[in-house]
Amino acid sequence: GAVVSQHPSRVICKSGTSVKIECRSLDFQATTMFWYRQFPKQSLMLMATSNEGSKATYEQGVEKDKFLINHASLTLSTLTVTSAHPEDSSFYICSAATGFPNQPQHFGDGTRLSIL
Amino acid sequence: QKEVEQDPGPLSVPEGAIVSLNCTYSNSAFQYFMWYRQYSRKGPELLMYTYSSGNKEDGRFTAQVDKSSKYISLFIRDSQPSDSATYLCAMKDGTASKLTFGTGTRLQVTL
């Protein structure tokens, strides 16, 4: 149980393109979803927290107009990197949780984004 | 000082060895403790989830929490080459949904 599917797994696109990444909880309802960014050989850096039906809460230093997050249902959240540039190239990972404080986060398999 | 300290390694052990991975933390409000395994170019996979001090065992894995010392451990028995990965500790308090992660320890199990 507790499967989180993230799509696509790999994106290569030109500078200036907008890229959408989907995160789905397949077998549970995710009240809360999280988006992380991970640089090589580093730990996960939380970008934003989204609750179903509400605006996302962004961490300090993360541009909300650059990284658009939508959490329209209890099983789907999307991250759109708008007008992507080479410095946005990274490994993006989502996680999902039921919202109960005693339940863990479950992670997707990540999206490797490369902006040329 | 970071809230969660974890030795980044790399830690290299022979197949069959017992592996001990550790994290220390400073925030006494942390109540829930997790260990995730992350293979290269993959998302973290939940291995163990514990609440309160004590031990929890699942197959070859044992998680240990000592709240009085603010110290958590993950033991892997009979380590296998397939255990080679980065192990992340993570924790949160009783109300927050956000996790605080360690830096991760890279483990290499050699034949």
Tens of pLDDT, residues A19-36: 999 999 999 999 899 999
For residue A112, the model assigns a pLDDT of: 97
Instruction: Tell me if B97 and A97 make a contact (CB, 8 A cut-off).
Output: yes
CA distance B107 to B19: 9
Tens-digit pLDDT string for chain B (111 aa):
789 999 988 999 999 999 999 999 999 999 999 999 999 999 999 999 998 789 999 999 999 999 999 999 999 999 999 999 999 999 998 777 789 999 999 999 999
**A109 with B42: CB under 8 angstroms?**
yes
Taking an 8 Å cut-off on Cβ atoms, the answer to whether B51 and A102 are in contact is yes
Asked if residues A84 and A66 have their Cβ atoms less than 8 Å apart, the reply is no
Report, as an integer, the average pLDDT of A28-57.
92
The distance of B59 to chain A (nearest Cα, Å) reads 18
Which among A67, A82, A72, A91 is positioned nearest to A24, based on CA atoms? A72
pLDDT recorded at residue A72: 83
Please tell me which residue of chain B has the smallest CA distance to A91.
B41
Q: How far apart are CA A46 and CA A27, in angstroms?
A: 24
Give residue-wise pLDDT tens across range A52-96. 888 899 999 999 999 999 998 999 999 999 999 999 999 999 999
Contact B9/A at CB under 8 A: no
- Closest approach of B68 to chain A, Cα-based (Å): 20
Give the chain A residue nearest B42 (alpha carbons): A109
If pLDDT is split at 50, 70 and 90, which confidence band does A100 have?
A: confident
Shortest distance between the Cα of B79 and any Cα of chain A, in A, equals 22
pLDDT at B75: 98
Distance CA A90, CA A37 (A): 7
Residue A99 has pLDDT above 90, yes or no: no
A112 → closest Cβ in B41, B92, B104? B41
**B102 → closest Cβ in A43, A99, A105:** A43
**Looking at chain A from residue 19 to 58, which residues have their Cβ under 8 Å from any Cβ of chain B?**
32, 34, 42-44, 46, 49
* The pLDDT value given to residue A41: 85
Are A43 and B104 a contacting pair at CB < 8 A? yes
Return the residue of B nearest to A112 by Cα: B41
